[in-house]
């Protein structure tokens, strides 16, 4: 799946243009790549579960969860173009997802929320506690927040990843940490 993304570095002019008006869905972000690989390597995390991918972008993490055996994956993003991109990428990868453009309109119980690279915007920090209220388990992948200290989240892994196509981001943004919050019931 990841090999389908262009692996080369974008010309500087194209990268600057994109920074002006980011098409988030056009990239497999380093955190999305790392969380996708983590889920594929640990399919028990998602197997048989109803999963929400919050801020799905291209859909890379949602698709990884579906391929790893989730019972249902709801891909959620506020950007309508991201939803289109996710639909196309799901079709290309021959997985079935469900879709939501509004987290608050997702009905029914949710076992696991997966979130990659949405904390670039501090306005999204309040979502961290909302996720814990909504699902028994939450997995966050992030390389943007320094000194991440949001109990009950705890760091469970740390891996290196590179955004594709390569935006030539500084090394710190390739240092991705995975944080987990889980209720006792979810751990049983
Ligand atoms: C940097 S991209 C990450 C995409 C993907 N998770 C990945 O790692 O490749 C962030 C995505 O989060 C979405 N997003 C940001 N705030 C959101 C919100 N409040 N609700 C849903 N999606 C949001 C953006 O539209 C964007 O598609």
Residue 84 confidence (pLDDT): 97
Residue 131 confidence (pLDDT): 98
Structure tokens at 49: 């579960």
Residue 14 confidence (pLDDT): 75
The β-bridge relationship of strands 50-54 and 154-160 is unpaired
Q: Mutation test of ligand 1: which of 19, 55, 139 has the most ligand atoms closer than 8 Å to its C-beta?
A: 55
Specify the residue with its C-alpha closest to ligand 1, atom 12.
Answer: 55
- pLDDT of 7 strictly over 70: no
The domain of 53 spans 2-187
**d(CA 188, ligand 1 centre) in Å:** 30
Query: Is any atom of ligand 1 closer than 6 Å to the C-beta of 116?
Result: yes
> What's the CATH number where 79 sits?
3.40.50.150
Q: Mutation test of ligand 1: which of 78, 106, 176 has the most ligand atoms closer than 8 Å to its C-beta?
A: 78
Structure tokens at 126: 């309040």
Cα 12-13-14 angle, rounded to 5 deg: 90
Specify the residue with its C-alpha closest to ligand 1, atom 4.
Answer: 57
CB 98 within 8 A of CB 73: yes
Phi, psi of 166 (to 5 degrees): -70, 120
Query: Is any atom of ligand 1 closer than 6 Å to the C-beta of 25?
Result: yes
**pLDDT tens-digit readout, 50-90:** 999 999 999 999 999 999 999 999 999 999 999 999 999 99
Specify the residue with its C-alpha closest to ligand 1, atom 14.
Answer: 55
**pLDDT tens-digit readout, 91-150:** 999 999 999 999 999 999 999 999 999 999 999 999 999 999 999 999 999 999 989 999
Residue 17 confidence (pLDDT): 76
Domain count, the chain: 1
Torsion of CA 95, 97, 101, 106, to 10 degrees: -160
């Amino acid at each position: 799946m990841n090999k389908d993304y262009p692996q080369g570095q974008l010309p500087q002019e194209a990268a600057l243009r994109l920074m002006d008006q980011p098409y988030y869905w056009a990239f497999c972000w380093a955190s999305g790549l790392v969380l996708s690989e983590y889920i594929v390597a640990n399919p028990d995390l998602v197997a048989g579960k109803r999963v929400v991918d919050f801020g799905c972008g291209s859909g890379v993490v949602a698709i990884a969860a579906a391929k790893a055996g989730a019972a249902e994956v709801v891909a959620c993003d506020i950007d309508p173009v991201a939803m289109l991109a996710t639909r196309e990428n799901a079709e290309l990868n021959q997985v079935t997802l469900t879709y939501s453009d509004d987290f608050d309109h997702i009905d029914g119980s949710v076992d696991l929320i997966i979130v990659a690279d949405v904390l670039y915007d501090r306005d999204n920090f309040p979502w961290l506690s909302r996720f814990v209220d909504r699902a028994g388990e939450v997995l966050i992948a992030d390389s943007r927040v320094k000194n991440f200290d949001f109990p009950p989240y705890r760091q469970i892994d740390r891996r290196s990843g590179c955004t594709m196509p390569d935006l030539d981001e500084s090394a710190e943004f390739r240092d991705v940490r995975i944080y987990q919050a889980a209720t006792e019931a979810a751990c049983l």
